[in-house]
Amino acid sequence: MAKILANIGKCIYCSTMEGPLTKEHIIPNGLSGPWVLEKATCKRCADITSKFEKDVLRGLFIIPRTALRLKTYNPKERPEGFPLKIIKGGIQKKVIIPIQEYPAKLSLFITDPPACISNIPYEKGIIVTGMCRVHISGPSVEEFRKKHGAKKVVEEIVYSTNFARMLAKIAYGMSIAQIGIDNFEEVYVLPSILGHKDDVGRWVGTAEDIILGNGKSTGESFHIIRLTIDKNYEVQTRIKLFATYNVPEYIVVVGRVKSMDFNILKNLMNR
Ligand SMILES: [Zn+2]
């Protein structure tokens, strides 16, 4: 069930108040994200954000979304089978495998931490340093390989910065829900969300530790977002997608708030 966290009344990306303004899922509906901001995005900005979200939902996350039966706006278009490349008799060929028989894995990128925290020299984009892959349903790759008499199963993953942009958008949306859009002095992640700048790795990255725990999540969602404000008034969020699995946590340094309601600030600073 969608849970409305705030009604914004202007586009959270370009600030226009001219409608129609539509709701914004903080975590995409396609990942069964429950939290919604009402009247929060204009059509022009929604076109930009839905483009990179779709790329992630239909690319990197299509297998886990189907295997775990996460939400979709088009249930009838849910794929029945997925392509997989196998090497058999020295020849590589593509086979289509039903999801029940597919060695389904959840794949999450491991990247450098946000450059603004790590102080690693930064140029552009985001540096991927590894991959976290968790088996979630169907046979293991080894079982699959044996069953199909294949020498090798080729698992391809294409990386783009869209995954990191999606994390930035999730963090920004939750920050607005909890802090209020008018309390921001500067939003660091906006240019990369809107595609005006290729600097997402400066603000988004993988945490070097795990503090949200493994195998646990709140009853509301199996994704976890936690927000803190540091002494420089910088808003930092920690995101754990698919939090019931042993997966990395991401950090997004969203922006800086101006002086705001002391009680909200105190609450967030003490976490
Ligand atoms: Zn807009």
Condensed to tens digits (0 to 9), the pLDDT of residues 4-25 reads: 999 999 999 999 999 899 999 9
CA 51–ligand 1 middle distance (angstroms):
14
CA 38–ligand 1 middle distance (angstroms):
14
Q: Residue 270: is its pLDDT beyond 60?
A: no
Q: What is the C-alpha to C-alpha distance for residues 253 and 266, in angstroms, rounded to an integer?
A: 18
CA 12–ligand 1 middle distance (angstroms):
7
Q: Residue 217: is its pLDDT beyond 90?
A: no
Predicted local confidence at residue 239, as pLDDT: 96
- The model's confidence at residue 156, banded by pLDDT at 50, 70 and 90, is confident
CA 16–ligand 1 middle distance (angstroms):
6
- The model's confidence at residue 80, banded by pLDDT at 50, 70 and 90, is confident
Higher pLDDT, 222 or 28: 28
What mean pLDDT is reported for the chain? 91
CA 178–ligand 1 middle distance (angstroms):
20
CA distances from 270 to 20, 225, 229, 230, 253 (A): 38, 16, 9, 9, 17
CA 15–ligand 1 middle distance (angstroms):
6
Residues with Cβ within 8 Å of 15's Cβ and at least 6 positions away in sequence, in order, are none
CA 57–ligand 1 middle distance (angstroms):
22
CA 69–ligand 1 middle distance (angstroms):
31
Higher pLDDT, 228 or 218: 228
CA 23–ligand 1 middle distance (angstroms):
12
CA distances from 220 to 32, 145, 161 (A): 10, 37, 28
How many helices (H) and strands (E) the chain has is answered by 8, 13
Q: Residue 46: is its pLDDT beyond 90?
A: yes
The 3-state DSSP class for residue 224 equals: strand
CA 238–ligand 1 middle distance (angstroms):
25
CA 48–ligand 1 middle distance (angstroms):
9
Q: What is the C-alpha to C-alpha distance for residues 6 and 23, in angstroms, rounded to an integer?
A: 10
CA 199–ligand 1 middle distance (angstroms):
20
CB atoms within 10 A of CB 196: 10
Predicted local confidence at residue 218, as pLDDT: 56
The stretch 49-71 carries a mean pLDDT of 94
CA 25–ligand 1 middle distance (angstroms):
15
CA 193–ligand 1 middle distance (angstroms):
11
Torsion of CA 60, 61, 66, 68, to 10 degrees: 140
Predicted local confidence at residue 74, as pLDDT: 84
Residues with Cβ within 8 Å of 43's Cβ and at least 6 positions away in sequence, in order, are 20, 22
The stretch 210-234 carries a mean pLDDT of 80
CA 83–ligand 1 middle distance (angstroms):
37
Asked if 23 contacts 48 with a C-beta cutoff of 8 angstroms, the reply is no
